[in-house]
Amino acid sequence: MAGRNFRELLEAQWDAGRFLCVGLDSDFEKIPEAARQSDAQQTFFTFNRAIVDTTKDLVCAYKPNIAFYEARGDVGWKALRQTIQYIQEVAPDVPVILDAKRADIGNTNQGYVEAAFDYLRADSITVHPYMGADALEPFLARKEKGIFVLCRTSNPGSGEFQDLKIDGEELYKVVSRHVADRWNTNGNCYAFVGATYPKELGEVRAIVGDDPILTAGVGAQNGDVARCIRAGKNKLNKGIIINASRSIIFASSGKDFAEAARQKSQQFNSEIMSALLQ
């Protein structure tokens, strides 16, 4: 969609007091019967559309995880594209972060870039840093897009590599310094830190300054919202994207699933605002 700039969209949402990102991790097997249609594509879309319709005034972003759609082949890809298009139609000021964790060698990577930004029309994407700057360059060259680099992830085994020390400093801090000091030449390279590690989130904040940080895991993974806000907000009292997925979209398995998603989003927003005011 011509003219969309991720950072500008995000800043406007923060200025309006919205910091919650709803993850559209639409596990097909968990979609409530009330959203089921005659084919998988329309089932995905009907479910996602209902979630978007009831939460679009409460969020700073949506974050679909591509895995749940890829698992269904062509119909999943079509449903994901249809969902992103719908968000941009009914909530044009809300950016979409594609949780894809991509990065590969240059010519292969270009395909990932085109799929995410040209075919799916996402505003932002998650990437991994393991292959270095040249693998990330095709993403970073899209100056209007947001590129979130995995620094400290929320899974229990993340420390296996991320806590390894290089010249006395943990790898996740080294990656964070590359994000802030080497890769952010276009002002669109940001950090991802799991909400289950608030101490590390604070350390990454100190490294990256006032730039956006995406954090996930406050719902089903039991990350603490208040601790994440205190650790992750910048000196302007914003700068943080708090993602919750399953705990919102599957808050109910009944006919009221969309209304339950709204209520859960409102609950998260209350927790976020309370923490910001502390």
Number of domains making up the chain: 1
Domain hosting residue 227, numbered range: 6-273
> Looking at residue 93, which CATH number applies to its domain?
3.20.20.70
Q: Tell me the per-residue pLDDT of 35-86, one tens digit each, with 9 for 90 and over.
A: 999 999 999 999 999 999 999 999 999 999 999 999 999 999 999 999 999 9
19 lies in a domain?
yes
- Those residues of the chain that have pLDDT short of 50 are 1
Write down the pTM of the prediction: 0.96
Other CB atoms within a 10 A radius of the CB of residue 210 amount to: 12
1 lies in a domain?
no
Alpha helices in the chain (DSSP H): 6-15, 40-55, 67-70, 74-90, 106-114, 133-140, 159-162, 171-177, 198-208, 225-232, 246-249, 257-276
- 114 vs 120: CA distance, rounded Å: 8
278 lies in a domain?
no
152 lies in a domain?
yes
Residues taking part in catalysis? 101
